[in-house]
Amino acid sequence: MITVLGSVFLLAGVAFGWYGLRPLAVVARLVRAETVGPASVSAADEFVVCRGRAQSVGDSLTAPFTGEKCLGLEYEISERELTPSEIPFTWTRLDDGVATVPFELRDDRGRVRVDPDPRRFRLDTESETVTVPAGDDPPERIRSFVAARGDLSPTAGGLLAPLGIGTRRYTERRIDPGEVHVVAGRPERRDGRVVLADPAVIADESPRTVARRRLRASAFPLVAAVAACVVGGGLLAVA
């Protein structure tokens, strides 16, 4: 039994470690690279950090919670739940998703195409959150979006609603057209032009600010990974 429990802790440590380290894989290159304009991006570059204003090349998206026009988005629906097996009053993720279209980064000297891959899409942009208290109806736009998903009730409530149990947060992050963004990744040549395909970073802050954000976000899972591995290793040692 101790051996099984130790193995579970070790596996949990590995999972926490992978979750915490994955966003940091690009941090060293991000802070070392010089930030350039779109005209300076070359297909010969192994890694580039480009800064410019995001502009549509035709298609655009409508953000699900705010209705803002954008060029890419992440959304998340979370609910405050009472979970005896975890920390009480935790926020549990109920649904999430991404959507993106190709766009360009532009400045006065040039432009470069950006073509994100939705399978590996992540935004380091400021989030916008709509909080709906338990038992209250969300705004019509959110209500329609949730109803269309089909898996969730638009309203959560219950006996513990006065304690905040059932409160929901609807969070979205966007690539807003006309706003300055930093895109980092490996350029390649497609159809005779340079494209930043599947970029590792799309942000609305400086590379160093993005690095700090990712380090802070990874702190807890990495500490949890070390703790789980120590406990698991100790259990296996005495088994």
**162: pLDDT confidence band, cut at 50, 70 and 90?**
low
Dihedral angle, C-alpha 149, 150, 153, 154, nearest 10 °: 40
Cα gap 99→115, rounded to integer Å:
12
pLDDT tens across 46-70, in order?
899 999 999 999 899 999 999 999 9
- pLDDT confidence of residue 239: 66
- pLDDT confidence of residue 6: 67
Annotate 50-76 with three-state secondary structure: EEEEEEECCCCEECCCCCCEECEEEEE
- pLDDT confidence of residue 72: 95
Whether the per-residue pLDDT at 149 is higher than 90: the answer is no
End-to-end CA distance of the chain: 9
Among residues 45, 44, 49, which one has the least CA distance to residue 31? 49
- pLDDT confidence of residue 180: 95
Chain-wide mean pLDDT for the chain?
Answer: 84
More reliable by pLDDT, 79 or 7:
79
**175: pLDDT confidence band, cut at 50, 70 and 90?**
very high
User: What is the average per-residue pLDDT within 20-37?
Assistant: 84
Using DSSP, state whether 120 is helix, strand or coil: helix
- pLDDT confidence of residue 86: 47
Cα gap 73→69, rounded to integer Å:
10
Percent of the chain's residues with pLDDT above 90: 35
More reliable by pLDDT, 26 or 180:
180
